[in-house]
Amino acid sequence: MLVRVEAAAITAPELTWAETWESDGVDRTPIIPSHEFAGTVAEVGDGVEGFAAGDPVFGLVPFDRDGAAAEFVAVPASSMGHRSSSVDPTIAAAAVLPALTAWEALHDRVKLAAGQRLLVRGGAGAVGSMLTQIGHAADAHVTATVSSADDVERVRSLGADEVVVVPRGSDPEDLRGFDVVVDAVGDRIPRWMYAAAAPHGTLISLQFPPDDELASEYGVSTVFFVVSADARRLAELDDLLANRRLTAEVASLFPLERGREAFETAGTPGRRHGKVLLLVRADRI
Ligand SMILES: NC(=O)c1ccc[n+]([C@@H]2O[C@H](COP(=O)([O-])OP(=O)(O)OC[C@H]3O[C@@H](n4cnc5c(N)ncnc54)[C@H](OP(=O)(O)O)[C@@H]3O)[C@@H](O)[C@H]2O)c1
C-alpha cells in the first residue's frame, strides 16, 4: 500500500535498534526513520482488499523497512488499519506504537485479569501511560511509578490506583507482590523490579532482554518482545481512540523539514512528556 503521510511520530530509541540499520545482516543505510504514521491511502497494492484510495489509515511500518518521515510511505497492508474520521491523524500517530505495545504486553504476552496487581515503571511516558490506561480498563489494580511528583496527578487521572514517586537512581523497597511488572523506562532493569514481582509473577521488558540469573533468583517469568501491528489490534485501537476511551499526549509538532530537530527533541532527557510528531502538512502547526 502507498500511504500519503499526514503525521509521523518519533520514538527516539529506534535509532539504537539493530533493525533500523540492517536487515538480515545487510546494511540498510541510508534509512528513513519514524515508523508510526497516520495518513490516507494513495494507492492500493496488487491483491490488497478492504482499502480504497483516500481511506484514512494509521499503522506501524515494520522497523526493518523505511519509515514515514516522508510525504509517502510504502507499507505492508497487514501493518495498517482503517482510521475513523473522528480520530485526528496526530492522535492516531501518537497513539499507535505505545498503545500497540501496551496492548500486546498486557493482553497477548500475559493475560492480565481483573483484580490482578500491575506495576508500571515509568507511568508518565508514552508506553507507560498506555499501560496504565489499558491495565485500568482491564480492571487490574494499577500501581505506576514516576520520577517526579509533578506527574502524580496526571498519571492518576489516566487510571492508576496508586502513583509512587521513585526519583531517578533510587530503589524503592516496599513495592512487592505484583502479578505483572512492566518496565516502560527503557534503561537496564533495576534489581528492585525483579523483587517487586510476586513469585511466579511476570516481568516484561521492552528495551533490553531481562537478566536470566536475576529472574531465576526471584522466581519470576520474563517476557521481552518487539511490537508489531496486526489488523485485529489496530481495529481495537481505532475503536478505543474514536470512543475516547484511550488518550495519547502530543508534546510537540515539527514540520518534516525540521526532522533532525524533532529527533533531537525526542531524545532529550527530561523533556516534556508526550510524543514528538512530524507533520507533513505543516500548515496544520
Ligand atoms: N519493545 C518494543 O516493542 C517497544 C515499543 C515501544 C517502546 N519501547 C521502548 O520502551 C521505552 C519507553 O518508550 P517511550 O516511548 O514510552 O519513552 P518516553 O515517552 O520517553 O518515556 C520514558 C519514561 O521513562 C522515564 N524515565 C526516563 N529515564 C528514567 C530514569 N533514569 N529513571 C526513571 N525513569 C526514567 C520518563 O519519565 P521522567 O521523565 O518523569 O523520568 C518517562 O516516563 C523505550 O526504551 C523504548 O525503546 C519498546
Question: What's the CATH number where 11 sits?
Answer: 3.90.180.10
Per DSSP bridges, beta strands 72-74 and 56-60 are unpaired
What pLDDT does residue 235 have?
A: 96
pLDDT, tens only, 26-42: 999 999 999 999 999 99
3-state secondary structure of 156: helix
pLDDT, tens only, 46-88: 999 999 999 999 999 999 999 999 999 999 999 999 999 999 9
What pLDDT does residue 24 have?
A: 87
Cβ–Cβ < 8 Å for 119, 93: no
Domains identified in the chain, total number: 2
Question: Ligand 1: does its nearest atom lie under 6 Å from the Cβ of 56?
Answer: no
What pLDDT does residue 123 have?
A: 97
Amino acid at site 101: T
3-state SS, 8-72, equals: EEECHHHHHCHHHHEECCEECCCCCCCCEEEEEEEECCCCCCCCCCCCEEEEECCCCCCCCCCCE
Residue 284 clears pLDDT 60, i.e. is over it:
no
Q: Are residues 121 and 173 in the same domain?
A: yes
pLDDT, tens only, 77-124: 999 999 999 999 999 999 999 999 999 999 999 999 999 999 999 999
3-state secondary structure of 117: strand
Cβ–Cβ < 8 Å for 225, 201: no
Per-residue DSSP letter, 174: S
* CATH number, domain containing residue 147: 3.40.50.720
Name the residue at shortest CA distance from atom 8 of ligand 1.
Answer: 206
How far, in Å, is the centroid of ligand 1 from the Cα of 235?
25
Query: Ligand 1 pocket check: which of 106, 127, 252 to mutate, most ligand atoms within 8 Å of Cβ?
Result: 127
Question: Ligand 1: does its nearest atom lie under 6 Å from the Cβ of 99?
Answer: no
Residue 282 — very low, low, confident or very high, per pLDDT cuts 50/70/90?
Answer: low
**Nearest-angstrom CA–CA distance, 264 and 16:** 13
Question: Ligand 1: does its nearest atom lie under 6 Å from the Cβ of 147?
Answer: yes
Rg of the chain over all Cα atoms, to the nearest angstrom:
19
Q: Return the closest-CA partner of residue 210 out of 224, 200, 198, 196.
A: 224
What pLDDT does residue 272 have?
A: 85
Q: In the listed set 206, 224, 242, which residue is the last one of a domain according to the structure?
A: 224
Q: Are residues 68 and 132 in the same domain?
A: no
What pLDDT does residue 250 have?
A: 96
Atom number, ligand 1, closest to the C-alpha of residue 168: 32
Q: Are residues 73 and 116 in the same domain?
A: no
Q: Are residues 216 and 104 in the same domain?
A: yes
Q: In the listed set 195, 224, 253, which residue is the last one of a domain according to the structure?
A: 224
Q: Which residue segment(s) compose the domain that 37 sits in?
A: 2-96+229-284
Question: Ligand 1: does its nearest atom lie under 6 Å from the Cβ of 184?
Answer: yes
Q: Are residues 216 and 111 in the same domain?
A: yes
Terminal CA-CA length for the chain: 27
Residue 283 clears pLDDT 90, i.e. is over it:
no
**Nearest-angstrom CA–CA distance, 128 and 217:** 26
Q: Are residues 114 and 136 in the same domain?
A: yes
Please state at what angle helix 89-103 crosses helix 231-242, rounded to 10 degrees: 120
Q: Are residues 119 and 186 in the same domain?
A: yes
Q: Are residues 253 and 154 in the same domain?
A: no
Percentage of the chain modeled with pLDDT above 70: 99
3-state secondary structure of 18: helix
Question: Ligand 1: does its nearest atom lie under 6 Å from the Cβ of 127?
Answer: yes
Looking at residues 242-248, what average pLDDT do you find? 96
Residue 285 clears pLDDT 80, i.e. is over it:
no
Q: Are residues 217 and 104 in the same domain?
A: yes
Question: Ligand 1: does its nearest atom lie under 6 Å from the Cβ of 223?
Answer: no
Residue 270 — very low, low, confident or very high, per pLDDT cuts 50/70/90?
Answer: confident
Residue 211 clears pLDDT 60, i.e. is over it:
yes
Q: Are residues 53 and 103 in the same domain?
A: no
Q: Are residues 110 and 92 in the same domain?
A: no
**What pTM does this model have?**
0.95
